[in-house]
Each structure stands twice: as structure tokens, then as C-alpha cells.
Amino acid sequence: MTTRSLFWFRRDLRLADNPALLDALSAADETLLLFIMDNDVAERAGPYRRAYLSDSLARLDESVGGKLAVVSGSHAQVLRDLSQRYGITSIHAAREFAPYGVAAEREIAAAGIAVEYTGSSYAIAPGRVRKPDDTNYRVYTPFFRAWQNHGWRGPAAAPSNPQFVELEGSERNLPTWPTPAGVDIQEAGEKAALARWSAFKVEGLSEYDEQRNIPGVAGTSRLSPHLRWGEIHPRTLLAGLNQRTAHEIFRKEIAWREFYADVLHHNPHTSRDYYAPAFAAMRYDQPGAKFQAWCDGMTGYPIVDAAMRQLREEGWMHNRARMVVASFLVKDLHIEWQHGAEHFMKYLIDNDVASNSHGWQWTAGCGTDASPYYRVFNPIEQGRRFDPDGNYIKRFVPELSHLSAPDIHTPWDVLDGHLHDYPQPIVNHALERLESLARLAEIKASKEPNPHQPA
């Protein structure tokens, strides 16, 4: 009799370099391929992410000859139901470490369903890199060294002659969520991920150290959506790197992703809460009209607006720009980082709770070895330094395309700066910087020992 295993695709929508899939294939004569659609999550994900996921699943389905089952429901219920109907003898998947994935694994275990977990979407699974005293790292640089010394496996082989279960019909519910009008989302899928990586190795990697901070050039890999959905594994990327400076810096960026996953694994509350709790006591402003201007790319600060419009137009934003807009929200508008993180999660196709929450907390000064709170990004200087010719601004803020650098960074200083209705700055950066430092001083003062109380 033909034996059947089940492979549950999670954040690993690929065939190559997928050890859990190889396990499933070797466990039985044929393997049922499953993606579980959580309709609540899909609803919350918003149209950008839904469109990307739809595209990714369609391409995965194509690569397995139309044999991908997409089934909605609770994890335990779907796994149990399919196991019974298809006579499954073992279920295989990769582990997840963010709160949602961990909760799903608990739900399945509580229902008494056995799943064999192999690997994760990291080169080294969160929780595995430990300090000599067996505690977890809180600072990136020593983590990076230990992570590098720990090492990782090489990429796993692609499956050869895999046998997939022919579906009975009702399980083929591939979503068909369209890309929102006017939005340009990059192509999803394993093939696109591998092609992007190959092209970046030839065209971008050797200059990565010099180009990665310039949002106006294609100087970074844009692999983040592929990594987020597991269309490529970081092992595959790491295996293609050598010891040259640019390669080393790229490896360090991969390690940031691993570091933040490790930090979130040990501190799951920090997906929404402050890593440094003292910052919860700071005075913040409620999101109102200024927050909306930030979301809409209408703050009157060109680099901030270009970045926020890139997010809306592409579902992605350059890393330098993410830091600039995050600093602006927290330190110029005095709004809590969670509001910004939530807005990012609504639009980013690479949304990753660990990198997002901790990227925000780093910029806001309340995260692990964060940029100190008193270091406030100056949006004008950031524009001049990292978009010297104004190419990034011109691309996303057409109201300023008639200006050249350096005027494009300070349109309020030139006569025709607001010719095409570009808004005036919604705040005065110099004053807001002082305001944010004053608010920092308040929480610092409240932490100082009370002289009236005995030590």
C-alpha cells in the first residue's frame, strides 16, 4: 500500500534547501503538500501582503504541478482532518519562533497531533547561540561573533524526483488576492528569489558596503520579502559569501535578522512592549493629524515623505529610510513606536515581527543596544548625506522634482520650493529635538534615587 506523509508549508514557501520537506519526502512514498490559511491573519495582513502571499502560493503551486493544498481553518483541525482523509502517517514542518508560530505549535501539541519539526527559517535557530554562562545575548556584536563561531549547515539539496499526493479537489483553494491599483510589488516566489540573489551577487554585492545606505540607488538585495516568506533560506545566501569586506557586511545584516529573532524568542512581549521598560513612562503624544501626515508622506520633510510614499507604492522601504522615518515619528512627533510599527506591518511585504519591532525599538532608543535616545536623526542632514543628488526624493515626491540638490532638501528656503503644493514642514525639527530631549530628561530624573528615602 502507498504510504503518505504531509508537509506543512509555513514560512518556507520553497522546494530547494528545505530539510523539513526532504524529511517528509523520505518518510513515505508520496507527500501531501499543505498551506494552512488563517483567515483572521489574512484579514489583518492588508492588501499588500495578501497580494504577495497570493503570488507566492501560486508560484509554489506551479512548481509542484498544481498539487498544493491551501486549506482554511485552525491548525489542529486542518491537520487532523487531512491526516484522516488522506491516511497520513507522519506530519513534517519547520519550526517557527515568533509568537504566532509558537502559539500554533502549542495548539497542535495540545490537540495531541504529532508533528516532526526540522530546521527553521534561520541559519541558527533562535535560542541556540548562548553566552559562555549559558544566558542569551543582549548585545549584537558579541552575538554576531558567537553566531559566526557556532557556524551553520550548508544548503540542503533540492528534492530529486519528489512524489506529491494528487489532491481530491476541494483542497485547491489558492487565493487570488490582487495587487492594489497603482502599487508596484516585487515578484514573489522561489524562482524570483534565486534570480534576485544571483543578480545581486553579480551586480550589487561587491559594492554593498558603499551603496547600501543610499536609498536612491539599488544598492541592497531586496531579498527581505523572500526571506520573510522563506522563498530562499539564509543558508543559501551565507554559502555564497566570502571574506571580502562587502560580503562580511552583508553577512552582518543577515546576522541582525537572526539576532532580533533570538531577542524576540527570549522576550516575546517585546513584539508590542518596550524592551527597556523605563521608556513606557515617557510623555508621548496621541496620534492625530501629524501622525496621518506622516503615514501619507506629507510631513514637509522631503526624505521622510519620499520614504513613506515608497512604502505605499512598493510595500517596501529602504533600511536607511526606515531609520529616518522611525526617528521622525518618535522624536519629532513624540508618538510611541508601536503606532509606527503597526503602520509598517500593514504595508510591508517583508513584515517580520522581530526585525520590525526591534528595528523600531533600536531607532526609538528603547531596544537592545539601541541607538541612544539622545541621538536624534536630523531629517535634513540625512537627506543631504544619503540622498545627495535628491534622486530618491525626486522618484517619490513629484512635487519637488523641479528642484535640484541641495535645494530639494530644504524647499522652504527657495522661492519656488512650494510651487506644486508640497506641504510646509508640520513641525520645526530643531525645536522638537529639544522637546524630545526634555522628555528624556524627565524619565531619567524619575529614575534617580529619591533623596528623602533611606538607601
Ligand X SMILES: Cc1cc2nc3c(=O)[nH]c(=O)nc-3n(C[C@H](O)[C@H](O)[C@H](O)COP(=O)(O)OP(=O)(O)OC[C@H]3O[C@@H](n4cnc5c(N)ncnc54)[C@H](O)[C@@H]3O)c2cc1C
Strand partners, 68: 33
Q: Which of 236, 355, 368, 382 binds ligand X (CB under 6 A)?
A: 355
Is residue 92 within 8 Å of residue 8, measured between CB atoms?
Answer: yes
Peptide bond between residue 162 and the one before it cis (omega within 30 degrees of 0): no
Which residue number places its CB atom closest to ligand X? 359
Contact stretch for ligand X (CB under 6 A) within 23-31, 120-128, 137-145, 352-360: 352-360
Measured CA to CA, the distance from residue 360 to residue 340 in angstroms comes to 8
Contact stretch for ligand X (CB under 6 A) within 56-64, 75-83, 103-111, 320-328: 320-328
Q: Interface with ligand X includes 31 (CB under 6 A)?
A: no
Q: Which of 21, 25, 165, 348 binds ligand X (CB under 6 A)?
A: 348
Q: Interface with ligand X includes 221 (CB under 6 A)?
A: yes
Q: Interface with ligand X includes 222 (CB under 6 A)?
A: yes
Interface residues for ligand X in 88-107 (CB under 6 A)? Answer: none
Strand partners, 91: 6
Strand partners, 5: 31, 90
Measured CA to CA, the distance from residue 232 to residue 14 in angstroms comes to 7
Min dist. Cβ of residue 167 to ligand X (A): 32
Interface residues for ligand X in 231-290 (CB under 6 A)? Answer: 253-254, 256-257, 260
Q: Which of 272, 322, 299, 335 is nearest to 429 (CA)?
A: 299
Min dist. Cβ of residue 149 to ligand X (A): 20
Q: Interface with ligand X includes 326 (CB under 6 A)?
A: yes
Contact stretch for ligand X (CB under 6 A) within 68-76, 216-224, 378-386, 414-422: 216-224
Q: Which of 5, 56, 120, 363 binds ligand X (CB under 6 A)?
A: 363
How far is the CA of 440 from the CAs of 243, 284, 304, in angstroms?
Answer: 41, 11, 23
Measured CA to CA, the distance from residue 432 to residue 333 in angstroms comes to 7
Question: What single DSSP character describes residue 136?
Answer: B
Q: Which of 115, 205, 227, 349 binds ligand X (CB under 6 A)?
A: 227
Q: Which of 119, 87, 95 is nearest to 3 (CA)?
A: 87
Question: What single DSSP character describes residue 338?
Answer: H
Q: Interface with ligand X includes 33 (CB under 6 A)?
A: no
Measured CA to CA, the distance from residue 352 to residue 228 in angstroms comes to 6
The smaller minimum CB distance to ligand X, of residues 306 and 326, is found at 326
Min dist. Cβ of residue 119 to ligand X (A): 17
Provide the binding-site residues for ligand X, judged by CB under 6 A: 212, 220-224, 227-228, 253-254, 256-257, 260, 318-319, 322-323, 326, 344, 348, 350-352, 355-356, 359-360, 363
